[in-house]
Chains A and B, each alone.
Chain A
Amino acid sequence: MKNIVIGQYVPGTGFFYRMDPRTKIIAVVILMVSIFLLKTINQLLIALAIALIILLAGRISINRVFKGLKPLFVLLIFTFFFQIFFNKEGTLLLDNTLTLSISSIAATIAWTFIWRLFVKINKFKFLLLLAYIIGIYFILRFLPYGYKLTTFKFMIYQKGLEMSLFVVIRLLIIITFSTVLTLTTKPTDLTQGLEKLMRPLKIVGIRSDDFALIISISLRFIPTILDEANKIMSAQASRGADFSEGKLKDKIKQVISLLVPMFIIAFKRSEELADAMESRNFVPGKPRTRIHDLAFNGLDIISSLFIVACLAASILTRVL
């Protein structure tokens, strides 16, 4: 749980760090809209190139962004295969008959066994998973011996392949942009930026400062609550609770032994926090000054121009 990289701020230099959070938030939103306006894969590839150039210009290590993408690989793979399997437009590229037979089942089991052995090394897990999936394909394709349980057709259409690549690249670009935003913006700045941006919503009765406060307090309390959860888990483990093994019924009981204390602690903490804020004369909704006020600079103007150009370009691809 401690290795969550999505949404983690990493201190650095680069021009992203000197930009106003408001500009960055709006830029990400506009860039996302622009990406969704694009229609062909070539345009998307150009957008991907631009995204990479932006990363390089901002001196953000691609490795870092890649790490942030890691937890989302499952989602990406899922969308990829979903598109391949269910989109049946365009010309037929691949038409195979896959067979589920005694020999292929046996080979699959053996293959799974080998794969699990390699996974234990704990390196290149993702590549291993890919190799495993491809291996299964070949097993089903070329080992139709023995008693045949069932056969099915595996077809890839041109449009399906294109669409799957299209969707995956689009997701990749969008996630990269949002990762850059959270990577280069402190949570406090981010919430302050959101607060300022949402100020006009006051007319419809949404108080942006309360909203920002809620976000910053929740962000602040994530590590604290995790720490407390670890403590309670150790305490219950000392009483023989085992959170990883056991029957479902035992597991539920053990989760309850974690949840009840967590709720009590969370409520207690929030009460203490409320008291502490009140004793420092915090009144909700009352205007407050800030130590660091946000200010736009030349960089923001340049990047805004760039963003508008991007949007204009993608609108043009639609119109032309």
Chain B
Amino acid sequence: MGIQFREVSYRYPTGSINFYQAISKINLTIQEKDEFITLVGHTGSGKSTLAQHMNALIFPTSGEVEIFGSVVSQKRNKKIKYNALRKHVGLVFQFPEYQLFEETVEKDIMFGPMNFKVKHDEAEVLAKKALSLVGLDETYLKRNPFNLSGGEKKRVSIAGILALDPDILVLDEPTSGLDPAGKKQLMELFTSIQKDTGKTIIVITHDMDLVYEFASRVIVLNGGELVFDGTPEKLFHRDDLNKYCLDYPETIQVLQAVKTRFGKDINIYKKTMTEAALEIERAMKS
């Protein structure tokens, strides 16, 4: 099952604010289990558009997307319950904190499940579970979401999607606007959610350190076209990333600099700073 993109193109309608070819001829398969995918690319490369195709919020202008067995194409098919697809694929928007509107955190998280006709008591249980998944304790349930900090608001809105218990979770730049520590915490949270639940998680990000450290698969978009699909190791072994306005992770940059400066034989592909430091130590001793 999962999600399959077949020759999917999308063009924003004439007269809208962003009128251009957003994505063109994308072919892509996303498994429904055990993947931690990061979606990278420069601003305006079509990442968000691609993400919105994954739960049928927008329909392709050509090609088709198969989402858990339902084929979404240009024409609206009356037999498909598009709403139900959104329960399979949970999409967390950029700046999700703007979607909060209820007076308590609990009610806000319950909004999603209640829309899918889950009973009140069950929705409460789901809300509790979702809140603990995002690392907030039960004291938050009765708090007003508007009095929380930026990071906490983000967590609550992510919990709002997790409460739907989607099979695939898509997050559109969840770490933007957070401090470095908050970014890392959030990514670690996603890794643990992925490990605990076995769900596939797709994260759109600009942060190559996070990609290198956490992702099992990277998809690179450039000008609306899919230009790379593979492991982060394979991606960062390429030397033409500047072409796609991408950067190398800091560890690789540091080790590369050391390598050029001292001409030592160094393995520059280390994921964490500790590993990088050990590698430098080893190379210096030899």
Q: Which residues of A contact B (CB under 8 A)?
A: 2-3, 223, 227, 231-232, 234-242, 250, 256-257, 259-261, 264-265
> Do B83 and A232 touch (CB < 8 A)?
no
Q: In the bound complex, what is the Cα–Cα distance between A51 and B96 (angstroms)?
A: 52
Q: In the bound complex, what is the Cα–Cα distance between A72 and B59 (angstroms)?
A: 31
Q: Which residues of B contact A231 (CB under 8 A)?
A: 93, 98
- Closest chain-A Cβ to B126's Cβ sits at a distance in Å of 12
CB nearest to A254 among chain B residues: B115
Given contact pairs A2-B13, A235-B98, A261-B101, a sample of 8 additional A-B residue pairs in the complex whose CB atoms are under 8 Å apart:
A237-B83, A238-B55, A238-B57, A238-B93, A239-B161, A240-B86, A240-B116, A256-B101
Q: Which residues of A contact B13 (CB under 8 A)?
A: 2
Q: Which residues of A contact B86 (CB under 8 A)?
A: 237-240
Q: Which residues of A contact B99 (CB under 8 A)?
A: 232, 235-236, 239, 257, 261
The proximity string for B residues 138-169 relative to A, scoring 1 for CB distances below 8 Å and 0 otherwise, is 00000000100000000000001100100000
A-B contact pairs, 12 of them (CB 8 A): A2-B13, A2-B15, A232-B99, A234-B52, A239-B86, A239-B112, A239-B160, A240-B83, A257-B111, A261-B98, A261-B101, A264-B146
Within 8 A of A (CB), among B240-265: none
B128 at the interface (CB under 8 A from A): no
Q: In the bound complex, what is the Cα–Cα distance between A238 and B113 (angstroms)?
A: 11
B16 at the interface (CB under 8 A from A): yes
Q: Which residues of B contact A257 (CB under 8 A)?
A: 99, 101, 111
Which of B16, B98, B116 has most chain A Cβ within 10 Å?
A: B98
Q: Which residues of B contact A259 (CB under 8 A)?
A: 101
The proximity string for B residues 75-88 relative to A, scoring 1 for CB distances below 8 Å and 0 otherwise, is 00000000100110
- Closest chain-A Cβ to B170's Cβ sits at a distance in Å of 9
Known: A240-B164, A256-B101. A235 touches B96 (CB 8 A): yes
Q: Which residues of B contact A242 (CB under 8 A)?
A: 83, 115
- B: contact size bracket: 20 to 34
Known: A239-B115, A240-B87, A240-B164. A261 touches B16 (CB 8 A): no
Which of B17, B99, B100, B112 has most chain A Cβ within 10 Å?
A: B99
Task: Choose from B15, B91, B101 the contact partner of A238 (Cβ within 8 Å).
Answer: B91
Q: In the bound complex, what is the Cα–Cα distance between A227 and B91 (angstroms)?
A: 18
- Closest chain-A Cβ to B78's Cβ sits at a distance in Å of 12
Task: Choose from A2, A237, A261, A264 the contact partner of B57 (Cβ within 8 Å).
Answer: A237
B90 at the interface (CB under 8 A from A): yes
- Closest chain-A Cβ to B199's Cβ sits at a distance in Å of 16
Q: Which residues of B contact A (CB under 8 A)?
A: 13, 15-17, 52, 55, 57, 83, 86-87, 90-93, 96, 98-101, 111-113, 115-116, 146, 160-161, 164
For the complex, would chain A's binding face be called helix, strand, loop or mixed by DSSP majority?
A: helix
Tally inter-chain residue pairs, CB-CB below 8 A: 63
- Closest chain-B Cβ to A257's Cβ sits at a distance in Å of 5
> Do A241 and B101 touch (CB < 8 A)?
no
CB nearest to A234 among chain B residues: B57
Q: Which residues of A contact B16 (CB under 8 A)?
A: 2
Task: Choose from A3, A232, A236, A261 the contact partner of B15 (Cβ within 8 Å).
Answer: A3
> Do B115 and A240 touch (CB < 8 A)?
yes
Task: Choose from B93, B116, B146, B161 the contact partner of A234 (Cβ within 8 Å).
Answer: B93
CB nearest to B15 among chain A residues: A2
Q: In the bound complex, what is the Cα–Cα distance between A238 and B115 (angstroms)?
A: 10
- Closest chain-B Cβ to A224's Cβ sits at a distance in Å of 9
Q: In the bound complex, what is the Cα–Cα distance between A171 and B186 (angstroms)?
A: 60
Q: Which residues of B contact A250 (CB under 8 A)?
A: 115
Which of A2, A236, A238, A256 has most chain B Cβ within 10 Å?
A: A238
Q: In the bound complex, what is the Cα–Cα distance between A2 and B87 (angstroms)?
A: 29
> Do A227 and B17 touch (CB < 8 A)?
yes
Q: In the bound complex, what is the Cα–Cα distance between A66 and B31 (angstroms)?
A: 52
Q: In the bound complex, what is the Cα–Cα distance between A3 and B86 (angstroms)?
A: 28
Q: Which residues of A contact B101 (CB under 8 A)?
A: 256-257, 259-261
Known: A238-B57, A256-B101. A223 touches B17 (CB 8 A): yes
CB nearest to B56 among chain A residues: A237
Q: Which residues of B contact A237 (CB under 8 A)?
A: 57, 83, 86
Q: In the bound complex, what is the Cα–Cα distance between A163 and B116 (angstroms)?
A: 55
Nearest 7 CB-CB pairings of A with B: A240-B115, A260-B101, A239-B112, A235-B99, A238-B91, A235-B93, A240-B116
Q: In the bound complex, what is the Cα–Cα distance between A31 and B38 (angstroms)?
A: 62
> Do A241 and B115 touch (CB < 8 A)?
yes
Q: Which residues of B contact A3 (CB under 8 A)?
A: 15
Task: Choose from B17, B98, B113 the contact partner of A264 (Cβ within 8 Å).
Answer: B98
Q: In the bound complex, what is the Cα–Cα distance between A135 and B129 (angstroms)?
A: 60
- Closest chain-B Cβ to A92's Cβ sits at a distance in Å of 50
- Closest chain-B Cβ to A179's Cβ sits at a distance in Å of 18
CB nearest to B52 among chain A residues: A234
Q: In the bound complex, what is the Cα–Cα distance between A227 and B146 (angstroms)?
A: 23
Q: In the bound complex, what is the Cα–Cα distance between A241 and B15 (angstroms)?
A: 26
Q: Which residues of A contact B83 (CB under 8 A)?
A: 237, 240, 242
> Do A239 and B164 touch (CB < 8 A)?
yes
- Closest chain-A Cβ to B153's Cβ sits at a distance in Å of 11
> Do B100 and A261 touch (CB < 8 A)?
yes
Known: A257-B101, A264-B98. A239 touches B15 (CB 8 A): no
Task: Choose from A227, A232, A238, A256 the contact partner of B98 (Cβ within 8 Å).
Answer: A232
